Amino acid sequence: MQAVYYRAPDGTEPVLDYLRLLKGRRRPTIENQITRLNLCRVGEHLPIEYAKQVDGELRELRCHYGSELYRIYYRQSRHLFILLHVIRKGGAKLPERDTTIARQRWLDFRFRMDAQPRHTLRPAGRDAP
């Protein structure tokens, strides 16, 4: 299994962009938690202290930096964990707005992955017009 960042249609990677803005040891600490996902086998989930089911197949990676809590929403697609959205958690419940963002990004990911593949261009050679 491998954790990868969701890439929006405009080419941005929202989770990676968020992590790049973190100061101090926050980013390496959260990236260490992401590395735990890479150690999972197909069909296996991390223990509840590291990851938890949010809704259906949508899960949250639970990251801690001292008293700060971060959550990364992710879903599995074959042999990949798609990291969809990240928040700094402030209350007891996950905000529905952020869960909705993660669901929308997942639908966008699936739509683009299920699209018809583009035809590759034929290289120009001796028989090119």
Q: Is the pLDDT of residue 27 over 70?
A: yes
Share of the chain above pLDDT 90, in %: 39
Q: Over the stretch 50-98, which tens digit does the pLDDT of each residue have?
A: 888 888 899 999 988 888 899 999 998 888 899 999 999 887 888 899 9
Tell me, what DSSP letter sits at residue 89?
A: E
Distances (CA, A) of 54 to 83, 127, 128, 129: 14, 56, 54, 56
Rounded to an integer, the average pLDDT of 36-49 is: 77
Question: What pLDDT is attached to residue 38?
Answer: 82
User: Can you give the pTM of this predicted structure?
Assistant: 0.82
Residue found by looking up tokens 């980013």 in the block: 27
Question: What pLDDT is attached to residue 126?
Answer: 64
